[in-house]
Structure 1
Amino acid sequence: MNQAQNSQSTPSDEWPRIPELIQRHDLVPVAKRGVLTLIATVGWALWIYMLLPLGALLAWWFGYQRLDIFVLAEPGKTLATLTLYSLIILLAGLLFVFWAVYNWLRFRGMDRRNAPKPVGAEEIAQAFHLPRESVQLAQGSAHLIFHFAEDGHITRVTASGARAFNENPRPSPNHPTND
């Protein structure tokens, strides 16, 4: 990069570049996808194999008993518990289905979702205590700077390359106007 180009660099040129990644797996060649899947599978298997003894040690330390003592020793109790859980899940699912059907029957054919009415420059000016001309000029500008008083209301709006709009007609107790 020569000296002229270096002096005209923008802030985006100085930011670190993020490498482009392929987010769509269908664009990766099939052979490469297979190799990557195999590497990931082997890596996860090794990870689990190495951590499984540590997990068993931690479980033993915290008093975990083996599954066969509680589940396989009394299969009748296990079956009864699973049946109870299945019934609860079934009843909850039926409740959701009945609720959906009820709402569908109650609200079908009604469209209660309406777009809000458009807000004009006059309403915006009244809401923010700004002159209407300031709001109209701000609506036509691409870049704006808002100036706030300490109590949080907007004191003025400045557009890039434009002069400051009129001061807020409502003076702040901490920032009186220059009248």
Structure 2
Amino acid sequence: MKFDSSVIHKPRSQPALQRGFFSVVTFAFWLAYAYMWLPLLTLFLWLLGVRTAVFELYLREHQVEPFLLVSLPVLALASATVLIAWAEYNRWRFRAKDRRSAQPDIGKHDIALAFGSSQEIAQALSASKVALLKMDDAATPMGVSILA
């Protein structure tokens, strides 16, 4: 296959079958990379006592605790219900209040005062899209060059 640098900038110019194949290969290598981290993850979890927790909760009597089968889904459902209720309450509470109102425009005189510059520099800055601002050592605007 001939090297095409436009593929780097436009991946959609690559054929779909080739793109899909490379995606599958990339995913397989990411899985292999993650698999290599499993011994370290196992050591970390063992140091935290996760093996002991699994043994105490599941393996001691060779069966799963019925209380866990009921309580964990109930706790997850209760947490989801509380979070959804809180979100709906906030949506109801702030439904008619738009706190993102438009701010008034600032005049050129205020811009010049904030910059510590002349009125001409403020007008030139507001009239241009791209400008080069020349400043002195005290960071006071001294001049402006309008760029095309």
Same fold (TM over 0.5): yes
User: 2-side partners of 1:59 and 1:92: how far apart?
Assistant: 29
Structure 1 unmatched runs, 5+: 1-18, 162-179
User: 2-side partners of 1:103 and 1:27: how far apart?
Assistant: 46
Aligned to 2:81: 90
1:160/1:39 CA distance change after superposition, 3 Å: same
Q: May I ask how many residue pairs the two structures share in their alignment? A: 134
Moved over 6 A (4+): none
Aligned to 1:143: 132
Residue 43 of structure 2 aligns to a residue whose secondary structure is helix
Aligned to 1:101: 92
Aligned to 1:45: 31
Q: Per-residue deviation at 1:134?
A: 4.6
1:79/1:132 CA distance change after superposition, 3 Å: same
Residue 81 of structure 1 aligns to a residue whose secondary structure is helix
User: 1-side partners of 2:56 and 2:83: how far apart?
Assistant: 31
User: 2-side partners of 1:130 and 1:139: how far apart?
Assistant: 13
Aligned to 1:158: 143
Structure 2 unmatched runs, 5+: none
Q: What code does the residue aligned with 2:76 have?
A: Y
Aligned-residue CA RMSD (Å):
3.4
1:111/1:51 CA distance change after superposition, 3 Å: closer
Q: Per-residue deviation at 1:160?
A: 4.7
Over residues 107-166 of structure 1, what are the superposed CA-to-partner deviations in whole Å (9 max), with x where a residue is unaligned? 3xx68622423412x3333444444345445656732211142xx6x2x513359xxxxx
2:110 is equivalent to residue 123 of structure 1: yes
Q: What code does the residue aligned with 1:123 have?
A: D
Q: What code does the residue aligned with 1:158 have?
A: G
User: 2-side partners of 1:29 and 1:39: how far apart?
Assistant: 16
Q: Percent identity?
A: 21
Larger Rg: 1
1:47/1:158 CA distance change after superposition, 3 Å: same
1:68/1:40 CA distance change after superposition, 3 Å: farther
- Partners of 1:138 and 1:157 within 8 A in 2: no
Aligned to 2:70: 79
Q: Per-residue deviation at 1:84?
A: 2.2
Over residues 68-99 of structure 1, what are the superposed CA-to-partner deviations in whole Å (9 max), with x where a residue is unaligned? 64255313134213312311220221121122
The structure with more helix, counted as a fraction of residues:
2
Aligned to 1:132: 119
